[in-house]
């Protein structure tokens, strides 16, 4: 039974705080185990990766079989349904077109003192993608991670995907080829993150690691951060739907269930000022749930983490949304643009009745790798910028150094850093001497 809340009730604030405080992440403490795995990969390289793959994925590898061979990629593409390949092509084209608009511009200017200032953007040399799951993995996630890296201009792009008992999804391999991944390695878990972070004789080290995974993968990304960049630590997925009387309760229900069927820790929330719509949407969830193949998963998610919240008006809905800071926010209202203008914190916003969040998972164009667990308050979804870095540029002229140098010398003296001040003063002395 999901939580039913009403902002008019005296106990609403406490109930809403409890909803926000829910711990939906994996509770297992895997940090020590992951640290041991990473240390083994760092110290023993390929040998450790092979041993751990045999242990966890029941797959015997050699350095020569860790990477998927070109002939295997050919066979995987040939095994895919042509209609699935066409859908991948559509998704890839739209994702690429969207992310090409994100490429940042370099800048250079001369200020009033004559100093030249600016910045330039350059891609990282290499990126590594983690693709979860073997046969249960998601080709859409590979496209969402790989294409922004390629648009950014990353020189080398590799992917790691577990292959339990040797099984890999042909459609994931087809997506890797379509996205321009240079090599796919059949390794998973924390050992794959370690291999990409430290490098082995077979797996080259990368500068940025991105992609979702289980608790072991998340912990490994957290532990290697600093040696390599990461995209984010993603938690269970979530959707918030804000709806008014113009919304279809069946559509609301299906959108809530589309999130709930991800896993039992996913969260689906409906906020509406319309009590009748709240009741109708909740009833529709029960009706549609009975027919879902993943009913057990979606039902557990909806019962443990789902919520229906009745508010006084859409302004109050917007305020609650910002406190939730949802990963996905659907605005199923008569004027979604007006409501969106009130929202500050959301990973992605889906505007209007005809824009289900599921379209964003596949072919909308914007990235579906988004901040979870209220982290949209301070972070953004995956983008081209995650694979680039900004270098600032400065060039002083004699006139600009004369103008701003004394301030630098004063601050250096205030901080007790004599050589700092002297490095500026030496140049000013020469200027004053006419040098």
Write out the two tokens for 371.
């901040």
If one counts every other C-beta atom within 10 angstroms of the C-beta of residue 383, the result is 20
Name the phi and psi angles at 255, rounded to 5: -70, -35
Query: According to the 3-state scheme, what is the secondary structure of the chain?
Result: CCEEEECCCCCHHHHHHHHHCCCCCCCCCCHHHHHHHHHHHHHHCHHHHHHHHHHHHCCCCCCCCCECCHHHHHHHHHHCCHHHHHHHHHHHHHHHHHHHCCCCCCEEEECCCCCEEEEEEEECCEEEEECCCHHHCCHHHHHHHHHHHHHHCCCEEEEECCCHHHCCCHHHHHHHHHHCCCEEECCCHHHHHHHHHHCCCCCCCCCEEECCCCHHHHHHHHHHECCEEECCCCCCCEEEEEECCCCCHHHHHHHHHHHHCCCCCCEEEEEECCHHHHHHHHHHHHHHHCCCCCHHHHHHHHHHHCEEEECCCHHHHHHHHHHHCCCEEEEECCCHHHHHCCCCCCCEEEECCCCCHHHHHHCCCCCCCCCCCCHHHCCCCCCHHHHEEEEEEEECCHHHHHHHHHHHHHHHHHCCCHHHHHHHHHHHHHHHCCC
**Burial degree of 267 (CB within 10 A; 0-12, 13-18, 19+):** buried
Sheet bearing 126-130, strands edge to edge: 183-185, 156-160, 126-130, 208-210, 229-230
Active site residues: 327-328
**Burial degree of 206 (CB within 10 A; 0-12, 13-18, 19+):** buried
Write out the two tokens for 381.
């979804």
d(CA 72, CA 50): 20
CB 282 within 8 A of CB 308: yes
């Amino acid at each position: 039974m999901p939580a039913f809340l009403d902002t008019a009730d005296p106990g609403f604030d406490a109930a809403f705080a409890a909803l926000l405080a829910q711990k939906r992440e994996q509770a297992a403490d895997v940090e020590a185990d992951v640290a041991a795995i990473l240390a083994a990969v760092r110290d023993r390289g390929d040998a450790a990766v092979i041993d751990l793959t045999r242990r966890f994925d029941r797959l015997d590898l050699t350095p020569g079989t860790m990477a998927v061979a070109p002939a295997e990629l050919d066979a995987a593409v040939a095994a895919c349904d042509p209609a699935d390949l066409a859908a991948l092509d559509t998704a890839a084209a739209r994702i690429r077109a969207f992310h090409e608009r994100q490429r940042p511009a370099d800048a250079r200017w001369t200020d009033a003192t004559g100093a030249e200032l600016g910045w330039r953007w350059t891609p990282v040399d290499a990126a590594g993608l983690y693709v979860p799951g073997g046969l249960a993995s998601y080709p859409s996630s590979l496209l969402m991670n790989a294409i922004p890296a390629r648009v950014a201009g990353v020189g080398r792009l590799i992917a790691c995907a577990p292959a339990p008992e040797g099984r890999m999804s042909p459609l994931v391999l087809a997506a890797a080829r379509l996205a321009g991944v240079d090599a796919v390695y059949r390794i998973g878990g924390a050992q794959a993150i370690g291999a990409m972070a430290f490098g082995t004789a077979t797996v080259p080290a990368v500068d940025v690691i991105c992609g979702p995974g289980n608790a072991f993968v998340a912990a490994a990304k957290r532990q290697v951060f600093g040696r390599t960049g990461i995209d984010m630590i993603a938690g269970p997925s979530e959707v918030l739907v804000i709806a008014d009387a113009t919304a279809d309760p069946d559509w609301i229900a299906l959108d809530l269930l589309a999130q709930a069927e991800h896993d039992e820790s996913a969260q689906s929330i409906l906020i509406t000022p319309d009590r009748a719509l709240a009741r109708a949407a909740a009833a529709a969830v029960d009706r549609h749930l009975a027919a879902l193949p993943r009913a057990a998963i979606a039902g557990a998610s909806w019962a443990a983490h789902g919520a229906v919240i009745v508010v006084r008006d859409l302004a109050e809905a917007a305020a609650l949304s910002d406190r939730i800071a949802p990963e996905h926010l659907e605005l199923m209202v008569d004027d979604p643009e007006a409501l969106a203008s009130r929202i500050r914190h959301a990973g992605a916003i889906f505007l209007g009745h005809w824009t289900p969040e599921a379209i964003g998972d596949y072919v909308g164009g914007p990235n579906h790798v988004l901040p979870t667990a209220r982290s949209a308050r301070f972070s953004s979804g995956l983008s081209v910028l995650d694979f680039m870095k900004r270098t600032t540029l400065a060039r002083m002229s004699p006139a600009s150094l004369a103008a701003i140098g004394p301030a630098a010398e004063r601050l250096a003296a205030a901080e007790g850093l004599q050589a700092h001040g002297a490095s500026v003063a030496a140049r000013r002395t020469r200027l004053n001497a006419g040098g």
